[in-house]
Structure 1
């Protein structure tokens, strides 16, 4: 089973490389291409990835990943609506970025060695730290994954979870029947209908899936942590300016939260900046935009129109949603988490 799984992963990587080699986008010109096009192309999902990239019955996209794309569009165009959401599957992420069909991957994706060295990508700082875990039917009476030897597990096809489950199962000495399904809705239907004993996923997604299940108490999160994965924004190698813009956009969201600046008070903060760093970030002191190819007030525009990181999180995953997800490790460094901004000097 493990050999077959690894062979499938290798075949998927080979297919991506073949696609990319025939339709590579030129590196180094992303900002110019986006400005010329007049819109930022961002990946969505081929369904709904609740809390991160989901679409409502009116066709409006929302979620943490989508709002980060809106923030990036605001930094460039001063308009959060200058985005085009391209619905793509997990396996389509890489050829879509290589070919230029999307400008950046903000799609709950981790930075890995093969994505760097084989696919030719580079990564931003992490904007979310999540763990890979296992959801199980309570009636099975499992206390850990080791009790599930011989069972079946639903896994998102084309994702890092395939490799993580195989590696973890091998390490603890059990065998699992893997059922890989591409679409999240079909994957969850398979688990909740009883087709699979287990559901392996990124922890936040499992938490959301359980919270909206018909009977949440019928499902338990096992204590096993299969992997810890920092989610990053991913761009093509050779475009340092574009990576800088993504990193500083994220840093502005975190710095604003750290300094207590949000969409409701950013105008006051700009009129009376409390520190030189805030003055520079908000464009009162010149020089924060030109080196990036942006206007000096780009950060002010982002905060005023999209909010700081906390506002984005609560709107996509937290208190303003049915999911009520806690920040946990995704909190700021000074509030029990691991996220931090760069220094503005």
Structure 2
């Protein structure tokens, strides 16, 4: 009898906990707005323009999710977060998802109780120095002062790299990328280190970007991607498959220009399922049939979003590299829509 009572209590408690954890999709629908955590400002990835409108590579993921759920890519409240505040904002429920150049690691996934829904940028940590410093390799930085954002994997990678190479450094802690940029340009540190994409973004804003060098060493794996809270698989599915929709759309040739008509004109069944003209994928997630089409229509497919915000024709100037489709030698790959 006692065992049955205890088991029943545990079951009720478990169900209650599950009910409390679940429901983000319903919350977003009821609110009519997606609360999306982003960086405090990283040009090309997430930054407000002169009119205060947020734009960038990570911002586009937020807008695609809002479009998939609410039918409106502008129904987003962007919440700036730092390396220190981002996880608290997500775990507390202040934001519904985090799309802030955040590295997928074991401890963040398991110990901090977050679910990474995929990778939207494969990156690695690098170093930027003034050309005048005369350094051509990170291994020549013995005794250097290094600006580094606190609360990031960058701190740990930096310590590992210098220890492995038996060289020393003096950290100059900064809270945000803007502070790091300011300190670096003011000469408070010899080196600025963060994800290589972030360094390219930061350098692009300098008055004389050519006066600064990105050193050749990439010292870590930094798979960056959006994340949600543990315990709400329904919401995790929505964010995960929205990201997959953008990736699959590029592979399948679905673009912002043809998304409104290709769903009915094509004979490709996967495109039809993706865009909701065939099958019931939207219904399975509690969304409209054309959720995928709405997500793609906002900013285009993954390739369009990349090219517009951070690609080789932008001041950021990033090549696709590992972020090319798997059919082009990259790591980008979406599971099937079926």
Q: Are residues 1:43 and 2:37 paired?
A: yes
Shift of 1:344: 1.5
- Indicate whether 1:326 and 2:319 are aligned: yes
2:98 to 91, 97, 105: 105
Question: How far is the alpha carbon of 1:321 from its aligned partner?
Answer: 3.4
Counterpart CA distance in 1 for 2:233 and 2:83 is 25
What residue is the counterpart of 2:23 in the other structure?
Answer: 29
TM-score when normalising by structure 1 = 0.89
Q: CA deviation at 1:298?
A: 0.6
SS in 1 for 2:120: strand
| C-alpha separation in 2, matches of 1:278 and 1:79 | 22
CA drift of 1:242 comes to 1.3
Alpha-carbon distance in structure 1 between the residues aligned to 2:306 and 2:51: 22
Following superposition, the deviation at residue 45 of structure 1 comes to 2.8
Which residue number corresponds to residue 251 of structure 2?
258
How many residues are paired up? 320
Q: In 1, distance between residues paired with 2:237 and 2:94?
A: 20
Partners of 2:208 and 2:302 in 1: how far apart? 32
**CA shift at 1:121, angstroms?**
0.8
Give distance in 2, aligned partners of 1:223 and 1:89. Answer: 27
Counterpart of 1:244 (choices 234, 237, 243) is 237
Q: Partners in 2 of 1:169 and 1:130 — Cα distance? A: 20
Structure 1 match to 2:182: 189
Aligned with 2:319: secondary structure?
coil
* Aligned twin of 2:216: 223
Give the deviation of 1:117 after TM superposition.
2.3
Q: Residue by residue, what CA displacement relative to the aligned partner does 1:132-185 show, whole Å, maximum 9, x if unpaired?
A: 001112222223222111110011122111111011111111110000101212
1:319 deviates by 5.1
Return the offset for 1:129.
0.3
Q: Which of structure 1's runs of 4+ aligned residues deviate more than 3 A?
A: none
Please give the root-mean-square deviation of Cα atoms over the aligned residues, in Å: 1.5
Q: 2:12 maps to what in 1?
A: none
Contact 2:62 2:99 in 1 (8 A): yes
How far has the Cα of 1:53 moved from its partner?
0.7
- Which residue of structure 1 lines up, in the alignment, with residue 4 of structure 2? none
Cα deviation 1:302-328 (Å, max 9, x = unaligned): 222331111111222125633232221
Aligned to 1:129: 122
Aligned-pair CA distance for 1:220: 1.5
Q: Hey, what does 1:206 align to over in structure 2?
A: 199
- Per the alignment, residue 11 of structure 2 pairs with none
**2: CA distance between counterparts of 1:66 and 1:149?**
37
> CA–CA distance in 2 between the matches of 1:257 and 1:221?
30
**Which residue does 2:6 correspond to in 1?**
none
Query: Are the counterparts in 1 of residues 42 and 201 from structure 2 also a CA contact under 8 Å?
Result: no
Q: Which runs of 5+ in 1 are unaligned?
A: 1-24
Does the residue aligned with 1:295 lie in a helix, a strand or coil? coil
Correspondence list, 1:51-62, <5 A:
51-62=44-55
In structure 2, C-alpha distance between the alignment counterparts of 1:174 and 1:140, rounded to whole Å: 17
Are residue 161 (structure 1) and residue 154 (structure 2) matched? Answer: yes
Tell me the SS of whatever aligns to 1:66. helix
Aligned twin of 2:14: none
Among candidates 300, 305, 316, match of residue 312 of structure 1: 305
Deviations along 1:44-70, whole A, 9 cap, x unmatched? 333x21111100121100001111000
The alignment's TM-score, normalised by the length of structure 2, stands at 0.91
Cα separation, 2, equivalents of 1:116 and 1:44: 18
Q: 2 CA distance for matches of 1:281 and 1:124?
A: 18
Residue 15 of structure 2: aligned partner: none
Q: CA deviation at 1:271?
A: 1.9
Most deviating of 301-310 and 150-159: 301-310
For 2:142, the equivalent position in structure 1 comes to 149
